[in-house]
Structure 1
Amino acid sequence: MTYRILVDENTSPRVAASLSDEGRDATHITTALDPGVSDQEIIDYAAAQGYAVLTHDDDFLRPKHTGAVPILYYSDDTLGVDDLVVRVETVIECVPSQADLPPVTFLDSWQPPDA
């Protein structure tokens, strides 16, 4: 199964563009939905389209809000685009199937193997 990543509004659209440049199916939320949509609308869209959500919004850490949608969460909002993309790519390399992701993957602890 190919990873599909929906990049939340609180994350730079450049992250989605960089992941797409790496051959990933990545979309920024403002491309897929209207700006300012609710977290529930994001989850509903992600579930319907088979996306994991990449976010810095800790509201997505509440299981009642996310259901079966995998969350790629980072708390460090100082991460640059390149660093964030490398962490997502490292997760994909280590967990090749999106279906095998846990409900929440904390990207803060993921580093490339040679880091």
Structure 2
Amino acid sequence: MALNTQIGRRRQMILIKRLDIIKDEGGGSDSEFVDYWNTWAEVKEVRATRVAESYQDRLKKVYSVKIRYRKDKVVSSDMRIIIKGKDYAIDGDENIDERDGFIEIIAVASKV
């Protein structure tokens, strides 16, 4: 029997939000981020790597967020991730491996 070494790594709850278009009564539209998916994640701050260095001039924090792959959920760069109550942009999927069962996402925070 194989020992699962991944148990306990995804111990932080995150919220992924997607952008929804809402039509108003005047025929126009507005957009807002709405809750899409609450899931457990392994969140690590990216430091001293090529990825972090490429963002150094314009960003404060860069995180690697590893979540379980699900066929019924799609994560894209027009979504947001809420980590510990703070809003982060999704820069893209670094590693999508359906066989491994996980997706690694790069989440970034802009300087204010």
User: What band does the TM-score fall into relative to the shorter chain?
Assistant: under 0.3
Q: How high is the TM-score relative to the length of structure 2?
A: 0.24
Q: How high is the TM-score relative to the length of structure 1?
A: 0.24
Q: Which has the higher strand share?
A: 2
